[in-house]
Amino acid sequence: MLRVLLQVIRRDLLLAVRQKADVLNTLFFFVVVVTMVPLGIGPEPNLLRAIAPGVVWVAALLAAILSLARLFANDYADGTLEQMLLSSEPLTLIVLGKAAAHWLVTGLPLTVMSIVFGVVFDLGLQETGVLVVSLLLGTPVLSLIGAVGAALTLGLRGGGVLTSLLVLPLYIPVLIFGSGAVGAAASGVAYAAYLLLLGAFLLFASVLTPWAVALALRISVE
């Protein structure tokens, strides 16, 4: 079981390393979007500090959505996905592996990058810490839920925009608690509950979404 999971992750990581452009694009998009906001709003430090959690989180959402297409599209195009569906290994496990690899090349770099944004927006050490932890817990959920959207829209025209429309409403709870955690930390209020809830979302999503994704893949491919 674990062997299959690791193999799937290893394969996807290898593919991602060979096509660095995909991965780097997502990260650059994240950076660019976050950078746009002060340019659009003005350099007032207090204002920027107040909106930073929301901005970073929304940018993370958008970057995650942008990167979803690559989750299954390449495997679908060259027939590997079909082989995965036919394989004797549980599809849910394969899906979990792909989502994990996706997170490793998109969510994790974003999370690390957010440390820089903590500094750039003058957030303070504790707030930045909470920002990082919230993204660490939340971005895997984005990959998992996003996988459902990617699987449902596999091969469809207008895919990217359609996937966004499907997936954004589902992302909202993660957004609310993710940026809420940082907001609470900034206000000096207890933020543990927010992070715990994010953790709960992660557990919930890890267990349920592979199932939905596997079902969606079978529907889309057959």
Partner 1 sequence: MNTAASPRIGLFWFASPQTFFPLAGKMVPLFSLLAAGLLLVGLYIAFLVAPTDATQGESYRIIFIHVPAAWMSMFLYLVMAFWAAVGLVFNTRLSSMMATAIAPTGALMTFLALWTGAFWGRPTWGAYWVWDARLTSELILLFLYLGFIALQAAIDDPRRADKAGAVLALVGVVNVPIIYFSVQWWNTLHQGASVSITRAPSMATTMLWGMLVMALAFWMYSIAVVLHRLRSIILERERRTEWVRELLREGRIK
Among 30, 72, 121, 177, interactor with partner 1 by CB under 8 A: 177
Among 108, 129, 166, 199, interactor with partner 1 by CB under 8 A: 166
160 binds partner 1 (CB under 8 A): no
Cα gap 186→180, rounded to integer Å: 10
Closest contact distance (angstroms) between CB of 20 and partner 1 is: 31
142 binds partner 1 (CB under 8 A): no
133 binds partner 1 (CB under 8 A): no
156 binds partner 1 (CB under 8 A): yes
Among 13, 173, 199, 206, interactor with partner 1 by CB under 8 A: 173
196 binds partner 1 (CB under 8 A): no
- 152-167: string of b/e by CB count within 10 Å (b at 16+)? bbbeeeebeeebbebb
152 binds partner 1 (CB under 8 A): yes
In this complex, which beta carbon is closest to partner 1, that of residue 109 or of residue 178? Answer: 178
Inter-CA distances, 6 with 35, 59, 65, 143, Å: 36, 29, 24, 17
Contacts 24+ apart (CB under 8 A), 33-40: 33/58, 33/59, 33/62, 33/63, 34/59, 34/117, 34/120
Q: Count the Cβ atoms, other than its own, within 10 Å of residue 90.
A: 14
- Burial class from Cβ neighbours inside 10 Å (0-12, 13-18, 19+) for residue 30 reads buried
Inter-CA distances, 34 with 75, 127, 131, 211, Å: 31, 17, 14, 34
Cα gap 114→53, rounded to integer Å: 10
In this complex, which beta carbon is closest to partner 1, that of residue 120 or of residue 170? Answer: 170
158 binds partner 1 (CB under 8 A): yes
In this complex, which beta carbon is closest to partner 1, that of residue 121 or of residue 171? Answer: 171
Among 51, 69, 93, 170, interactor with partner 1 by CB under 8 A: 170
In this complex, which beta carbon is closest to partner 1, that of residue 9 or of residue 99? Answer: 99
Q: Check if the beta carbon of residue 131 is closer than 8 Å to that of residue 114.
A: yes
219 binds partner 1 (CB under 8 A): yes
Q: Report the interface residues with partner 1, using CB under 8 A.
A: 148, 152-153, 156-158, 162, 165-166, 168-170, 172-173, 176-177, 180, 201, 208, 212, 215-216, 219-220
